[in-house]
Each structure stands twice: as structure tokens, then as C-alpha cells.
């Protein structure tokens, strides 16, 4: 079962910017090979950090406004939000340890 929920532009502010815990957002697209490679890693993190970090996915093809707002130039881009602000990000396929370190720093 997928635990990383797909977000749309209309729900982004409520789910991410107003969240009371850190939020990891995976900016991706269906045609992106590295994005598909990172999908199981993002899923595993969403399960491992359940209750402590919310994990969402934003399809840049469906939500071009969010991609432009956050200056997403390459995908996958994984951004970490805390208290309504982007506090960290990684671009491209990354080892799980890089993402865990990013999440642990935010907790």
C-alpha cells in the first residue's frame, strides 16, 4: 500500500505549509527514470518515518505552478519543509542514507 500521497496544487498549502511536523515532498514525473528509481526509496521512508514526517509526491507535469514556485529545474527533487518553509533539498537519485540524514536533522 502506498503511503506517500499524491498532492495537487489546491492541497499543497494545507498539507505541506501548514503541517505541524516536517514534510518531505518528492517532485517527480511518470516519464522520469531516476524518479521511478527513487519511488521505492520514498515509499520506504514514508513508512519508516510514519507519524514523525509526512511524505507527499507532486507530479511536476500536473502541478507546473508548484514546480515553478519552488524552482524545480531537475527531477527528482526532494524538498524538506518545516514550519511552512523549505529547509533542505536534494536533486537526483540519492542513496537512502542521504535522505535519512536530511530527515533526522529536521526531527
One of 16, 24, 25, 35 is an active-site residue; which one?
35
Residue (of 68, 70, 54, 65) closest to 15 by Cα position: 54
Distance of alpha carbon 28 from its chain centroid, rounded? Answer: 9
Catalytic-residue membership of 35: yes
Distance of alpha carbon 102 from its chain centroid, rounded? Answer: 12
One of 16, 32, 38, 78 is an active-site residue; which one?
32
**Can you tell me the distance from the alpha carbon of 83 to that of 81, in angstroms, rounded to the nearest whole number?**
7
Q: Catalogue the active-site residues.
A: 32, 35
Amino acid at each position: 500500500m502506498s503511503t506517500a500521497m499524491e498532492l495537487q496544487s489546491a492541497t499543497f498549502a494545507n498539507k505541506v505549509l501548514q503541517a505541524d511536523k516536517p514534510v518531505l515532498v518528492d517532485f517527480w514525473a511518470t516519464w522520469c527514470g531516476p524518479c521511478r528509481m527513487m519511488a521505492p526509496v520514498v515509499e520506504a521512508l514514508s513508512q519508516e518515518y510514519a507519524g514523525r514526517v509526512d511524505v507527499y509526491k507532486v507530479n511536476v507535469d500536473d502541478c507546473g505552478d508548484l514546480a515553478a514556485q519552488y524552482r524545480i529545474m531537475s527531477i527528482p527533487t526532494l524538498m524538506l519543509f518545516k514550519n511552512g518553509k523549505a529547509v533542505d533539498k536534494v536533486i537526483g537519485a540519492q542513496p537512502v542514507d542521504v535522505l535519512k540524514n536530511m530527515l533526522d536533522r529536521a526531527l
